[in-house]
Structure 1
Amino acid sequence: MLSLTLWLPVAGAIALAFVPRDRLGTIRMLALATALLTFGVSIGAGLAFDRGHAGAMQFVELRPWIPSIGVTYHLGADGLSLPLVILTTLLTLLCVIYSWRVDVRPKEYMILFLLLETGMVGVFLALDFFLFYVFWEVSLVPMYFIIGIWGGPRRAYAAIKFFLYTLLGSLAMLLAILIVYFNAAPRTFDILALIQQQPLSRNLSLALLAFWGFFLSFAIKVPMFPFHTWLPDAHVEAPTAGSVLLAAVLLKLGTYGFVRIALPLLPEAFAHLAGVVAVLAVIAAVYGALVAMAQTDLKKLVAYSSVNHMGYVMLGVAAAAAATGRKELAGAAATALNGATIQMLAHGVITGALFFLVGVIYDYRAHTRGVDDFGGLGARLPVYTGVTMLAMLASLGLPGLMGFVAEFLIFLGAFQIYPTLTVLALVGVVVTVAYFLWAIHRIFFGPLNARWAALPDMDARERWALVPLAAVMVFVGVYPRPLVDTVNMAMVAILGLTR
């Protein structure tokens, strides 16, 4: 089942390669069918998933691949990875629906999105470092071309900057993987076997070196302060669907790496440096919020809000790492890590919706993203206004919506471990409330700008792309228990490996 989810997009991309360029309808329908089928298989996995054992790997596929160096084809899903896989397949499907009108090289555009889907899903499912690294790199290449070909006026600069930053991180990760591999006995790339073996547990210096390699790679992808400078350029220049997957899924590869790999594989090294990670996380949370508040470009505002919200994720992860070996803080660590994981999902849903909404007004209507260029749109575009306000209120953490659940758990757990830093991070929450309410007031209230008197509201295609995300925001906000219980079992299992 996992291999089907992983390789269906590749099969669809290969099929698309043989479709003539002038068969636009066939290209669109084949891409849609592939994305829909992949999402359907992931939902099937979710329904078959045993939530009572969410802390254990399920649907495991393990086959020898390159036995001479210990490489295996090893896939598995637990309560951490499966929700992220479903999020990825859902958003890819919605991106295909949203991109229905793309008329510049639509064939290549759809092929790249399907290949990107395989790269992202592969990272979440891989349980072998060789596979993990391959899929990590595969996810880089399609996004480089998506930004570089279909992006804005400064697309070449943004694409190259994105590529160089991520490539630097990839090289650091490769070094870390090799350090772990050559110190293992027997040598293997199997992630679960290495976690059980703990090959660097007796050599803190080497463990710290390996941790810094993983840290640099994952921190660039998150992105953490001060490695975040590639993100605003990439978001602003990327096409709308590219921005959606970049924010909603690609950033999660970094936080997923911290939770899946750095925390259980190098617990002592991570605990040793958890304070540094926590400080950088709080800086990102506050700095991202303050810079977002200063933006007049709506897309940049949402981009910097990602820096802000991913800072909260990393605060939760760092707090859990700091509690390693301290039984009295085990509950707080699990709570913080639960919040961090749910925030990954919440940010993916909410920020994905926000980038879609920016695209709705910019790509097909006003062709401007300036917050001050609007005013009074609430009366003219009631459906658009309602969905945008819902997403912004969810992002600022309004109780009853998905964002609140995640942030509450992060702060509840982190406060017991890093009380001062948690209080400082709350400044970011206050500023987030301010900049989203400011944006809502400027865009939707007041007198209607005469330039927008004839703007049409969202059409059926745009509603199809946004209604599922809006429904998830509300459902998880009102009834978070199924998701929290599933994630909690996985987090307890991961933390159990660090004791």
Structure 2
Amino acid sequence: MTVSILIFLPVLAALAVLFFKNETAKHAALFFSVVELAIAGVFLANFKPDASTQFIIDTPWIPQFSIYFDAGIDGISMVMVLLTTLLVPLIILTTYKHQYKNANAFYALILFMQAGMLVVFTALDGFLFYVGWEAALIPIYFICSLWGGENRVRITIKFFIYTFAGSLFMLLGIIFLYIQSPNSNYDLHDLYAAVQSQYITNRQGVVFWAFFLAFAIKMPLFPFHTWQPDTYTEAPSAGTMMLSGIMLKMGVYGCIRWLIPITPMAMVTYQHMVIILAVIGIVYASVIAFTQTDGKRLVAYSSIAHVGLIAAGIFAWNAQGLQGSMVQMLSHGINVVGMFFIWDIISSRLGTRDITKLGGIAKVAPKFAIAFLIIVLGTVALPLTNGFVGEFLLLNSVYQYNIWFAVIAGLTIIFGAVYMLRMYKNVMQGQTNELTATFADVHGSEKIVLCIICVLIISLGIYPQFILHISSAAVENLLHTVKIPGKF
């Protein structure tokens, strides 16, 4: 059993879904995504939580250029595989109350995008990593530009230019590393070994920036974030969930797996600057979130703040930071999908996301109010919710690097609690008005999705050891393999 099953099933599923129409395409996409989740469960059941890479496929692809289809799963990749395969069926289920023109194409693009992201999270070959990176971008471009909001074309073009430009820099970095690799190939471990080359050592700064630009744009990290709020707002809800729940984690994962291990000396040089950018992003996005009246846009800025904390924890480069990033990437994915689904329900029922026009919904929709509150509490990192453990470890990591950075980064929890709870109060509490008095409570697929999300928020908050156990050995191995000057 190799990881190729996980990668190619969504591709075959996407092709199959194209032959179905309307409701049938929707059901088929959900079926295939659940099968993919079940297969991921089989991989998890057979996974040994040690430092090894498992379920490897390593076969020649373009052998004359030393390009191999080389992919596998270790503890770090396993968490990302779980994130991707768990969220895609949930995201498809959130669309069950919507009707899409050319639904077969819409769902096929979601499945194809899933395949691209799984390639990114499992690739052990630099060229394959780049192919997966670009393959995931193409479907989301069409999802946003064809099914997005009123300003979708202009905003999607901006998003595409930003991300594609960053990708080109990364491609140049990969080619440079290939030329300098001891065996002239794209193998991840050979690229790690290339770090020992004096030629590479003297040019690590160039390679660092080539990769960093691509990853910082994808996350996004301040000041490369300007495409994100508009894209999240204009994209269809399923597209926003794919972007925020899974796709932005490609940039975070890229820093852990590729950027820092390949350029350890440059990381030390620019470490302080990157953490400063991350901390600025936390405060900036939180302050901007205070001023938002569009619920979806508020969540978009909240996401920037949370990702800023993840980036700061990673670049502090210690076990707490990397373990915290694993937990938080999974938790953030669950919470942000839940939050965007909440606003999708409100928007589809009331035709608005304007917080100032809402109020009193809890009086007429108590089940919806409870689910909304649980998701908000997970987002603001209340103890015993999934958001708490990751943020605690990340702040601990930043504290070990610099106490004052940790103090400022900790503002994400305080600010987040203020604007999220204020949002909840304005939307759910108080008296109903003419708009909200007839708000219908959740039912059917909406109830199923919200129940699953709430169970995950509480269960991961009570027992995060499940995720920590999966990634622990791989994280420790990475820390000892990558020799950061002054640390080891």
- TM-score normalised by structure 1 residue count: 0.94
Report the CA distance between 1:200 and its aligned residue.
Answer: 4.6
Conserved 8 A contact 1:97-1:461: yes
Report the CA distance between 1:293 and its aligned residue.
Answer: 1.2
Residue in 2 that maps onto 1:314: 311
Q: Which structure 2 segments of 5+ residues have no match?
A: 484-488
Report the CA distance between 1:438 and its aligned residue.
Answer: 0.7
Residue in 1 that maps onto 2:174: 177
Residue in 2 that maps onto 1:442: 426
Report the CA distance between 1:428 and its aligned residue.
Answer: 2.5
Conserved 8 A contact 2:18-2:25: no
Residue in 1 that maps onto 2:265: 268
Residue in 1 that maps onto 2:115: 118
Counterpart amino acid of residue 407 in structure 2: V
Equivalent of 1:497 in 475, 478, 481: 481
Residue in 1 that maps onto 2:61: 65
Partners of 2:351 and 2:103 in 1: how far apart?
Answer: 21
Partners of 1:203 and 1:66 in 2: how far apart?
Answer: 25
| Residue-pair matches, total | 481
The 3-state SS of whatever aligns with 1:416 is: helix
**1:337 has 2:337 as partner:** no
Equivalent of 2:222 in 201, 222, 225: 225
Once the two structures are superposed, residues 271-310 of structure 1 have per-residue CA deviations (whole angstroms, 9 ceiling, x without a partner) of 1110011000001111111111111100000000010000
Once the two structures are superposed, residues 435-462 of structure 1 have per-residue CA deviations (whole angstroms, 9 ceiling, x without a partner) of 0111111111111123221111111111
Partners of 2:448 and 2:113 in 1: how far apart?
Answer: 22
The 3-state SS of whatever aligns with 1:186 is: coil
Residue in 1 that maps onto 2:183: 186
Partners of 1:142 and 1:132 in 2: how far apart?
Answer: 17
Partners of 1:480 and 1:239 in 2: how far apart?
Answer: 32
Partners of 2:298 and 2:334 in 1: how far apart?
Answer: 17
Equivalent of 2:205 in 200, 204, 208: 208
Report the CA distance between 1:205 and its aligned residue.
Answer: 3.6
Partners of 1:202 and 1:404 in 2: how far apart?
Answer: 43
**1:145 has 2:134 as partner:** no
Alpha carbons of 1:276 and 1:466: their partners in 2 closer, same or farther (altered >3 Å)? Answer: same
Residue in 1 that maps onto 2:486: none
Equivalent of 2:22 in 7, 14, 24: 24
Larger CA deviation: 147-156 vs 339-348: 339-348
Residue in 1 that maps onto 2:302: 305
Partners of 1:388 and 1:200 in 2: how far apart?
Answer: 53
**CA RMSD after TM alignment:** 1.3
Counterpart amino acid of residue 85 in structure 2: T
Once the two structures are superposed, residues 63-86 of structure 1 have per-residue CA deviations (whole angstroms, 9 ceiling, x without a partner) of 122222211111111111112112
Equivalent of 1:357 in 342, 345, 351: 342
Conserved 8 A contact 1:366-1:452: yes
Conserved 8 A contact 2:17-2:108: yes
Alpha carbons of 1:481 and 1:201: their partners in 2 closer, same or farther (altered >3 Å)? Answer: farther
Report the CA distance between 1:161 and its aligned residue.
Answer: 0.9
Once the two structures are superposed, residues 334-381 of structure 1 have per-residue CA deviations (whole angstroms, 9 ceiling, x without a partner) of 112211222111111111111111111112x01110111111111111
Larger CA deviation: 425-434 vs 127-136: 425-434
Report the CA distance between 1:484 and its aligned residue.
Answer: 1.4
Equivalent of 1:34 in 26, 32, 35: 32
- TM-score normalised by structure 2 residue count: 0.96
Partners of 1:432 and 1:208 in 2: how far apart?
Answer: 35
Alpha carbons of 1:419 and 1:150: their partners in 2 closer, same or farther (altered >3 Å)? Answer: same
**1:97 has 2:81 as partner:** no
Conserved 8 A contact 1:317-1:337: yes
Residue in 1 that maps onto 2:274: 277
Larger CA deviation: 192-201 vs 159-168: 192-201
Once the two structures are superposed, residues 91-126 of structure 1 have per-residue CA deviations (whole angstroms, 9 ceiling, x without a partner) of 111122122232311111111111111111111011
Residue in 2 that maps onto 1:14: 15
Point out 4+ residue stretches in structure 1 off by more than 6 angstroms.
Answer: none
Report the CA distance between 1:255 and its aligned residue.
Answer: 0.4
Equivalent of 2:350 in 358, 366, 373: 366
Residue in 2 that maps onto 1:328: none
Once the two structures are superposed, residues 184-227 of structure 1 have per-residue CA deviations (whole angstroms, 9 ceiling, x without a partner) of 11111011222134255554441110000000000000100000
Report the CA distance between 1:34 and its aligned residue.
Answer: 1.2
**1:470 has 2:466 as partner:** no
Conserved 8 A contact 2:60-2:69: yes
Partners of 1:203 and 1:76 in 2: how far apart?
Answer: 26
Partners of 2:292 and 2:197 in 1: how far apart?
Answer: 45
Report the CA distance between 1:429 and its aligned residue.
Answer: 2.0
